[in-house]
Amino acid sequence: MLGTKVVAELSVRHGIEKFIFISTDKAVNPTSVMGATKRAGEELLKALNQQNKTKFISVRFGNVLGSRGSVVPLFMEQIKKRSAVTVTHPEMKRYFMIISEAVLLVLEASALGEGGEVFVLDMGEPVKIIDLAKEMIRLSGLEPDKDIPIVIGNIRPGEKLFEEVLSAEEGAEPTAYEKVLKVNSPDVFDSDALIKKIEILIKLSYQLHKKHEIMELLKEIVPQYNPMKYDMTIRNW
């Protein structure tokens, strides 16, 4: 949040025409701090867009294949070593996009954006991670669970089985660019109040003993944030 706010304010100060914020599908009904702060970033930029000449625009990424932190390089390394391929859960699904699609989404959003929008890419149907793992093993000339075992692990706190690109209160409409959609999300009506809350959140983040206050304020800023929802699901399996 601090980094987003600092760079956004510098963009205003130096008269930058457009600011493109890289958000994530984890910002939709977030269950992790990462997802919640990304959603707070989207809301912050909507608020700043109402008050300044700089046009603030957000884009929500899915999982970018081949990027740092992507599951694909991990699977490739495991297959190369003939070690077990680790999958978090057999039903886990994710939306995927390739690097060129991610770049085009940013460029097209910068061309389309007039300020305050959130754009997403139509990524088709989500893919089961276990199916991706099996296909990568086959593409390496090997057989899943014969030459390379697939090991099921555990879901980490705040991790979802299924990601979403739109929340229940949002809709999407087509744009001039194929596969790029504009999210219809509620506007920020009290931008000053939101910015003030985010400033308080940033100050609190330096005080680790105030974890409860930090979490409660984050829930105020992002009402959709539900850190316990998927923890309860895990306990009930």
DSSP states of 61-109 as a string? Answer: E-EEETSTT-HHHHHHHHHHTTPPEEES-TT-EE-EEEHHHHHHHHHHH
Catalytic residue among 26, 46, 55, 197: 26
How many folded domains does the chain comprise? 1
pLDDT score of 153 = 87
pTM as predicted: 0.86
**pLDDT (tens place) for every residue of the chain, 237 residues total:** 899 999 999 999 999 999 999 999 999 999 999 999 999 999 999 999 999 999 999 999 988 987 877 888 899 999 999 999 999 999 999 999 999 999 999 999 999 999 999 999 999 899 999 999 999 999 999 999 999 999 998 888 888 888 888 887 888 899 999 899 999 877 766 899 999 999 999 999 998 888 899 999 999 999 999 986 544 333 332
Query: What CATH number has the domain bearing residue 192?
Result: 3.40.50.720
pLDDT score of 228 = 62
Q: How many CA atoms lie within 13 A of 8 on its CB side?
A: 25
Active site residue 26: yes
User: How far apart (Å, rounded) are the C-alpha atoms in residues 55 and 151?
Assistant: 46
Residue pair 116/44 in contact by the 8 Å Cβ criterion: no
pLDDT score of 234 = 35
User: How far apart (Å, rounded) are the C-alpha atoms in residues 113 and 119?
Assistant: 9
Strand residue runs (E) in the chain? 18-24, 55-61, 63-65, 85-87, 93-94, 96-98, 118-121, 127-128, 150-152, 171-174, 180-184
- Domain containing 95: what range? 2-235
pLDDT score of 67 = 80
User: How far apart (Å, rounded) are the C-alpha atoms in residues 1 and 86?
Assistant: 32
Distance between first and last Cα of the chain:
34
